[in-house]
Structure 1
Amino acid sequence: MTRRFALMGGAGAAAALSVPALLKAAPADVSPDVIIIGAGIFGAWTARRLQEMGRRVTLVDAWAPAHARASSGGESRMTRGAYGPDEVYTRMAWESLADWKALSDTAALPLFYETGVLFFFPRIEPYVEDSLRVHARLGLPTERLDNDALRRRFPMIDFEGVEAGLFEPRFGALMARRAVQTLVATFVADGGRYVQAEIAPPTGAGEGLGHIQTATGERLSAGHYVFACGPWLPKLFPALLGSRIFPTRQEVFFFAPEAGDERFRPGRLPGWADFNGGDIYYGFPDLEGRGFKIAHDAHGPPMDPDLGDRIPSAQALADVRAFMIRRFPALAGRPLSEARVCQYENSANGDLLIDFHPEMNNVLLVGAGSGHGFKHGPAVGRYAAALLTGRLARVEPRFSLASKGETEKREVH
């Protein structure tokens, strides 16, 4: 039976999420085992995994699940398995795909579109060969395409100067805001508690954190805490993470195809990324009539998630229009239908952060999505929940705090 959920933000600090009467949150007087701060994709999936383990969980957010300033907000995110030699991320994406499909099957509207994903390259490079080796080892049905095959199958793209492509037919687009809201509503429906409150920077050491405090002075207590609050992590832990997580401004644009032009709809145009000698552009087909999506995957200037404005820049718009002239000439002159300014929350090299606070042993830090983390949400939640409960068979060194540098040098693509 399809579940139909409506999420409406609560009013005031520590207000419970307002949901239909059939969704019953856990009683406020029941002490939680875990409090999770941040109702984005990492926090929501971690809450769900802990709930599945039988833990009492309270999920806290200052605004609302997938709110406008969250890195998990917005319309769509790509899910793909190509990561060159970084098998850990290919495994996580492939593992998460089944969870995304299962969640989508419960939702009133689709959360996942199997559009396929196409990466293309100006030359055969190690990333291509490494991706194919990893995919063959894991059994992913990935195709390698030469220039002639690319032109035949995707004639809406100009492949001048492109030598090779990787096509992943099983992957595609995740509807980001809708997915987070559905996940949180499912969590609440199954007995979880959602609280809307701004949290002050925590203090504690030795035996751990005793409580967190809201901006209005209310104390919330649990045995363990998970901070999964994206670009707000450096603000809550400035001494520890202020020099290790780098929020950057990112701009996304949507263009309206000509009426009746079927070439840019799902089923014809896949999700795509032009590696462009390392200067990557990416985008999606016209999902649900929102328009052809395009963005430049280059780290923008530093971004304060609270104070940064969300006005698109003329320079970024001109940049993607110039790229469209080159690769999508039929869309180059089409009108802009929508634009969005969000942020990445980058680690120095692009690896995720899932590790305990070095001075508060009951605090788990989860973040540094680095522009590619959304797709991994189900696997991140599973890993974080297993780490928190002592059930993890093997710790991934790349997710450790100790591995996080202070100089940006992105290596994960």
Structure 2
Amino acid sequence: MSSKPLSHASPILIVGAGTWGCSTALHLVRRGYTNVTVLDPYPVPSAIAAGNDVNKIMEHKELKGTNPDARSLAFTTCTRAALKGWKTDPVFQPYFHETGFIVSGHTPALIQHIKEDEIEPSDAEFVSLETAEDFRKTMPPGVLTGDFPGWKGWLSKSGAGWIHAQKAMVSAYTEAQRLGAKFITGTPSGKAVCLLYENGDVVGAQTEDGTSHMADRTILAAGAGSDRLLNFKKQLRPTAWTLCHIRMTPEEAKSYRDLPVLFNIAKGFFMEPDEDKHELKICDEHPGYCNFIQDQSHGGEMRSIPFARHQIPLKAEARARDFLRDTMPHLADRPFSFARICWDADTPDRAFLIDRHPEHPSLLVAVGGSGNGAMQMPTIGGFISDALEGSLQKELKHVVRWRPETAVDRDWHSTQNRFGGPDEIMDFHKLNDNEWTQIQESEQSKL
């Protein structure tokens, strides 16, 4: 335990003002903590935060069967709480769109995987989609015009849809500030370059401008950038995905409103156009990209190093257009108005990592969204606050513990039960500049 007792007046430092950092700041000040400071190298919403996005999937389904595994039980506990938060918390409620969710595959193996691991096909809440016409009927005429070759799917109408992640994050940030949290953002004053240690414990962080931010408790919630500040013993792998937007007219956007999310576990997914810029978001689906280098500052070990880029690989563009040819061929050749890579951090088992550090008792790590972090925004900060106070519920505590034993001899190229693309982890480091898109963003397209 830390030598200093935790009180509502204790100085608490949060490193990272992304989805989880903003949520944690909000929950702490709601609980009465009066000395909460948040650092980030970017203004909120961060240019590289995974949560800085017009829409993200929100899906909750209750577990079936009598003996679920611990990880599934923990994840269901989190998503159940998040869904309640999206529906009832005034900070987040305006940004949840319960439009439904379609999960699908296009090969017999993928369809069987969905039946075994994703859903319970006999459950009455899932509507089976067997033909192209079944898919088309889930949306207004003229939206889904494709032939859906080989596709089978299931539609869930409740407890799922999409969230406006960017607006929700800004809402959490605004409310946290109103309640007294202090945000220091931008380079160099908000960019943490190292944690500060004293007698073996973490006592804060230093920013690029040389300022030492001292704290009784430090929460490391810097997403994919977290392992640049702490040795996670291979528990984190920064992994990136690719997204792109298509500009639509206001009239088109109206006809695409209130659509269920359409997700093919190996092809991609899309969500309705955002209400401000009328841009349709499409993501190609794949196990992820890394940026592998031999990091001499860490003994020459292989590491994936995040970077920001508002373009995507040409092969990612081709995959996105292939998804469109199956589903909405009338849009398959339309120019992209925006694209970027989006970073998260995978743990070996894709469970979250929320725990006090075993060697530095005043440090709490809150990382490892593993592709599922943004949907947790309304309540993940509450679980992180519970962990800080030592009261995290039993069904979560063991699953999200500090667990380097799961990363021994870690296979950095593991697909971790994800599908699509070449069915392997891809490496940005191997791409030349001419293998990226050259999309010219207009001012209104920029996030």
Q: What TM-score do you get using the length of structure 1 for normalisation?
A: 0.80
Q: Give the drift of 1:294.
A: 1.0
**Quick check: 2:203–2:362 contact (8 Å CA) kept in 1?**
no
- For 1:318-397, list aligned pairs within 5 A: 318-394=318-394, 395-397=396-398
2:282 matched to which residue of 1? 294
- Given the alignment, which residue of 27, 30, 33 partners 2:11? 33
**Quick check: 1:258–1:334 contact (8 Å CA) kept in 2?**
no
Q: In the aligned structure 2, how far is the partner of 1:266 from the partner of 1:169? A: 17
User: Number of paired residues?
Assistant: 372
2:430 matched to which residue of 1? none
Q: Secondary structure at the match of 2:201?
A: coil
- CA RMSD in angstroms, aligned pairs only: 3.0
Q: Give the drift of 1:47.
A: 1.5
**Quick check: 1:83–1:131 contact (8 Å CA) kept in 2?**
no
Q: In the aligned structure 1, how far is the partner of 2:62 from the partner of 2:368? A: 17
Q: Structure 2: which amino acid aligns with 1:74?
A: D
- Given the alignment, which residue of 9, 13, 23 partners 1:45? 23
Q: Give the drift of 1:126.
A: 5.2
Q: Give the drift of 1:130.
A: 5.2
Q: Give the drift of 1:133.
A: 4.9
Deviations 1:47-105 (A, max 9, x none): 222222222222222222221122222322111125987343233223212322345x4
Q: Structure 2: which amino acid aligns with 1:199?
A: A
**Quick check: 2:356–2:365 contact (8 Å CA) kept in 1?**
yes
Q: Secondary structure at the match of 1:202?
A: strand
Once structures 1 and 2 are overlaid, which stretch shifts more, 285-294 or 367-376?
Answer: 285-294
Q: In the aligned structure 2, how far is the partner of 1:83 from the partner of 1:131? A: 11
- For 1:264-275, list aligned pairs within 5 A: 265-267=256-258, 269-275=259-265
Q: In the aligned structure 2, how far is the partner of 1:145 from the partner of 1:337? A: 34
**Quick check: 1:31–1:221 contact (8 Å CA) kept in 2?**
no
1:231 matched to which residue of 2? 224
- Given the alignment, which residue of 178, 191, 213 partners 1:189? 178
1:153 matched to which residue of 2? 138
- Given the alignment, which residue of 278, 284, 299 partners 2:271? 284
Q: Secondary structure at the match of 1:351?
A: coil
Q: Secondary structure at the match of 1:125?
A: helix
**Quick check: 1:257–1:264 contact (8 Å CA) kept in 2?**
no
Deviations 1:324-361 (A, max 9, x none): 11222222122322222222222233221111212101
Q: In the aligned structure 1, how far is the partner of 2:99 from the partner of 2:200? A: 49
Q: Structure 1: which amino acid aligns with 2:243?
A: V
Q: Give the drift of 1:251.
A: 1.8
1:213 matched to which residue of 2? 206
1:113 matched to which residue of 2? 97
Q: Structure 2: which amino acid aligns with 1:219?
A: S
Q: Structure 1: which amino acid aligns with 2:79?
A: A
Q: Structure 1: which amino acid aligns with 2:245?
A: F
Q: Secondary structure at the match of 1:294?
A: strand
Q: Structure 2: which amino acid aligns with 1:150?
A: F
- Given the alignment, which residue of 86, 92, 102 partners 1:100? 86
Q: Give the drift of 1:283.
A: 1.7
Q: Give the drift of 1:145.
A: 1.6
Question: Structure 1: 5+ residue runs without aligned partners?
Answer: 1-29
Q: Does 2:423 match 1:400? A: no
Q: In the aligned structure 1, how far is the partner of 2:136 from the partner of 2:309? A: 40
Question: Structure 2: 5+ residue runs without aligned partners?
Answer: 1-7, 293-303, 419-447
Do the aligned partners of residues 282 and 82 (structure 1) sit closer, same or farther apart at CA in structure 2, a change above 3 Å counting? farther
Q: Does 2:46 match 1:55? A: no
Q: Structure 1: which amino acid aligns with 2:241?
A: Q
**Quick check: 1:227–1:363 contact (8 Å CA) kept in 2?**
yes
